[in-house]
Amino acid sequence: MQKKYLADQSLPRALFSMTWPMLFGAVALMSFQLVDSIFISMLGMQPLAALGFSLPLQQLLIGVQIGIGIAATALISRAIGAGNLDHAKYMGGLVVITGCCVSFILCTLIWLLRMPLLNALGAGAELLPYTESYWLPWLSSAWLGAFLYFANSISRANGDTRLPGLMMVFTSVLNMLLDPLFIFTFGLGLPGAAYATIVACLAGAAIMYSRILKRHWLAFDPSKLPIAAALREIAKTSAPAMLSQLMPGTASLLATRIVAGFGGSAIAAWTLGSRLELFSIVIVLALTMALPPMIGRLYGSKQLDRAHSMVLVAVRFVIGLQLTIALLWMASRGLIAPALAPDQDSEVYLLSYMLWVPFSYAALGVCMLMVSVCNALGMPMRAVWISTLRLFFCYLPALWVGASIAEMSGLYIGVLLGNVAAGLLAWNLYKRGLQHIQKT
């Protein structure tokens, strides 16, 4: 039945039908993060810089939850495909419990180690009052975000991408509405942004879990599973994916440390640029959620050539789209940078960022797709290698060399060159992996 479905539709149409629900949700999520930064920038340069020092650690937390979510999607969908619906729902419960425990431990460690972490990142003493008041509500919102994400993963594993997409829209819009209320009306300042996220995630989780429980997609009864074996399955599936997802956070920590050497205005511009990047690659993010189950289905039905054709469709689309977005950012930077930057120095840095870095998003998108595709084709370690080589052999060295030669402008050019090299490398590694599969 699955083979017939994929055979009867054109590849672009099939990819679109799976991607659009996640796209709307991802657009809403990225829009909320951009609006969040805009509201915080109204508080001044220091609160925005304080937010910037939380972003690398936030990427680490998100990497863990995505790795566990990938495991949830793979294990639950596999059980459903085998007709074992009871095992699927109990596995869903175990994934939620495991994921929440792991996320809680990480959030607690970050809070306890906040001072050494901030010192390692290069945060100045003038920012510590802001980080001290912000990090506890921010970490609470991060844990609730993970709790909601696991429910979304269970829904996708059961073949429903519309429900999590709608829920992402709902929570993002609610967050955007609550942001000015908590930040300005209640006078909470920077922590108000985190409290708004807490309320939005609580509302989203209440709706999401009530729906999946009603549909019998989730059950909490560990006695129904061989716990040790099930946990090994989760670890075996999630560990490589988690490692791939954690690497960007680790690289972001190191990149932030380099940028911090140029002052608070550079960090503020880097923070705004990072949010623009997330907004720019939102369609790529949606594709990385929609493409793997389709590639896996084609691979499982021995249609490897058709799977490769679908990868080509996605890659060509991403390259064309991201180059168009880069041109738009370059053309509009004279309007956007003054509107977003909290001071003149940050504006200058952001103008330079928008001139160079967006042209690397096409290559970055190819890397992201190749990681997802390699996981779907049963090559998780190749996906890890793509992430490792991109970040630690291409991106960071080029960034550091560029910063050493021409300060922040050189750093931005280094980001561009590093990502382009990484995109070419990722495509080559994918092609070699595909040839290996074809021979076996």
Query: What is the full per-residue pLDDT of the chain (440 aa) written as tens digits?
Result: 444 435 567 778 777 877 777 777 777 776 777 778 888 888 988 898 888 888 888 878 988 898 888 778 777 776 766 678 898 899 999 999 999 999 999 999 999 999 999 888 888 888 889 999 999 999 999 999 999 999 998 887 777 778 988 998 899 899 999 999 999 999 999 999 999 999 999 999 999 999 999 999 999 887 788 888 888 888 877 888 778 777 876 788 789 889 989 988 898 899 889 888 888 898 898 888 878 777 766 776 677 888 899 999 999 999 999 999 999 999 999 999 998 888 889 999 999 999 999 999 999 999 999 998 887 777 878 988 999 999 999 999 999 999 999 999 999 999 999 999 999 999 999 999 999 988 87
d(CA 26, CA 28): 5
Q: Is 400 exposed, middle or buried (0-12, 13-18, 19+ CB in 10 A)?
A: middle
d(CA 318, CA 291): 13
Return the number of other C-beta atoms located less than 10 Å from residue 5's C-beta. 11
- Hey, what amino acid is at 317? F
Sign for the CA dihedral angle at 194, 199, 204, 205 comes to positive
d(CA 219, CA 125): 48
Q: What range does the domain containing 245 cover?
A: 2-439
CA 96 from centroid of its chain's CA atoms: 19
Number of domains in the chain: 1
Contact 268, 341 (CB under 8 A): yes
- Hey, what amino acid is at 388? T
Contact 11, 310 (CB under 8 A): yes
Q: Is 341 helix (H, G, I), strand (E, B) or coil?
A: coil
d(CA 267, CA 51): 9
Spatial CB neighbours of 351, under 8 Å, sequence gap ≥ 6? 333, 334, 337
Q: Rounded to two decimals, what is the model's pTM?
A: 0.75
Cα–Cα nearest to 43, from 348, 271, 343: 343
Sign for the CA dihedral angle at 114, 267, 358, 386 comes to negative
